[in-house]
């Protein structure tokens, strides 16, 4: 019987993330809008990086959807962006975990109010 181990396969596992994920400050939220500015949902941020976000959301948005996003810190500081929905997973509760990529990278000073 021939068995191949992962070490013997010519496969490399590259890290797909472009930036390190960070834990958000408690109660960091993200408001999502359509491109005309009408709110489509608000979510609790689970992690954030300079290039994207993961959040808990109660509405379904299809991957590939472009939305407006406004990160809001517990102190009320905001950063408006555009967000491309990359993936969406439904939870047993009926809520969703959304992963999205920002239209532009955040600079470190923009990110600081949102990280713990």
CATH number of the domain encompassing residue 42? 2.40.10.220
User: What is the domain range of residue 39?
Assistant: 20-110
Domain count, the chain: 1
Q: Is residue 9 part of a domain?
A: no
Beta carbons of 24 and 46 less than 8 angstroms apart:
yes
Q: Is residue 3 part of a domain?
A: no
pTM here is: 0.78
What are 64-108's pLDDT values in tens digits?
Answer: 999 999 999 989 999 999 999 999 999 999 999 999 999 999 999
Average pLDDT over residues 47-59: 95
Q: Is residue 26 part of a domain?
A: yes
CA dist., res. 104 & res. 59, Å (int): 24
Residue 12 banded pLDDT, cuts 50, 70, 90: very low
Q: Is residue 4 part of a domain?
A: no
Q: Is residue 37 part of a domain?
A: yes
What are 37-51's pLDDT values in tens digits?
Answer: 999 999 999 999 999
Q: Is residue 10 part of a domain?
A: no
Residue 6 banded pLDDT, cuts 50, 70, 90: very low
Beta carbons of 47 and 54 less than 8 angstroms apart:
yes
Q: What is the pLDDT of residue 20?
A: 77
Q: Is the pLDDT of residue 36 over 80?
A: yes
Q: What is the pLDDT of residue 18?
A: 60
Q: Is residue 13 part of a domain?
A: no
Q: Is residue 11 part of a domain?
A: no
């Amino acid at each position: 019987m021939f068995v191949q181990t992962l070490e013997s396969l010519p496969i490399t596992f590259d890290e797909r993330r472009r930036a390190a994920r960070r834990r958000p400050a408690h109660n960091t939220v993200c408001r999502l809008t359509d491109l005309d500015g009408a709110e489509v949902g608000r979510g609790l941020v689970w992690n954030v990086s300079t290039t994207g976000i993961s959040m808990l959301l109660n509405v379904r948005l299809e991957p590939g959807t472009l939305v407006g996003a406004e990160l809001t810190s517990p102190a009320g500081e905001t950063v408006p962006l555009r967000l491309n929905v990359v993936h969406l997973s439904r939870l047993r509760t009926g809520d969703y975990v959304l992963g999205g990529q920002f239209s532009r990278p955040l600079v470190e000073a923009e990110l600081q109010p949102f990280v713990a």
